Amino acid sequence: MRRQGKAVANFDRTLPSPQSDLARDITKDPYNFDFLTLGDDAHERDLERGLLNHLRQFLLELGVGFAFVGSQYRLTLGNEEFFIDLLFYHLKLRAFVVVDLKMKAFEPEFAGKMNFYLSAVNDLLRHPDDQPTIGIILCKTRDRFVAEYALRDINKPIGISEYRLAESLPEKLKGSLPTIEELESELGAASAKEPGKHRTR
């Protein structure tokens, strides 16, 4: 299944060509985080921590050109501080990419919050030679119709995608499957019994 360029996005309307085509090509829907297993009670910070703990796999899933800038990246505006979940710079786009993580279905107000972050990054971090900052909202699920409406009157480039996590095992199966330690000890016992096998140092 082709996932490239499938995010709900307003890139065609908010970015000049060929920048809009490239922005569409760097987004996916859904993102596949099958290296992560999180319980139903997990929060956004758990998802963020899991992605950072598997940063190499996360960058591979994002695709070529993403450079990691920071997590919980602090922006100071007036007397208040705001924190971006994940901040990247895309080398080919020559633009910052703000990633906002949500452990629930997409809600229209997420687009407004992302619009705010993009304004702040454009003012505080963007170099005059950089292209406009792009936002990617990653949600557990999203209704395409609602997402399209949320982006309709926003004039900054935003993509909205779902993500997939590894399936967690049902509780009743967990106890019946051997642990890694049990498997290793079984394998060790089996290889020790094989005739003609000698361990070398």
For residue 127, being part of any structural domain is answered with yes
Percent of the chain with pLDDT over 70: 82
CATH of the domain at 98: 3.40.1350.10
pLDDT of residue 180: 56
For residue 92, being part of any structural domain is answered with yes
For residue 96, being part of any structural domain is answered with yes
Instruction: Name the domain count of the chain.
Output: 1
Structure tokens at 131: 């292209």
pLDDT of residue 184: 63
165 by DSSP, 3-state: which? strand
Please tell me the distance from the alpha carbon of residue 123 to that of residue 182, in angstroms, as a whole number.
Answer: 55
123-133 residue pLDDT tens? 999 999 999 99
Rounded to two decimals, the pTM is 0.81
- Nearest Cα to Cα of residue 159 among 147, 174, 146, 175: 147
* Segment of 1-10, 46-55, 176-185 carrying the highest mean pLDDT: 46-55
Please tell me the distance from the alpha carbon of residue 36 to that of residue 191, in angstroms, as a whole number.
Answer: 32
Evaluated on CA atoms 52, 91, 28, 142, the torsion sign reads: positive
Q: Which domain holds residue 58?
A: 8-170
For residue 28, being part of any structural domain is answered with yes
For residue 180, being part of any structural domain is answered with no
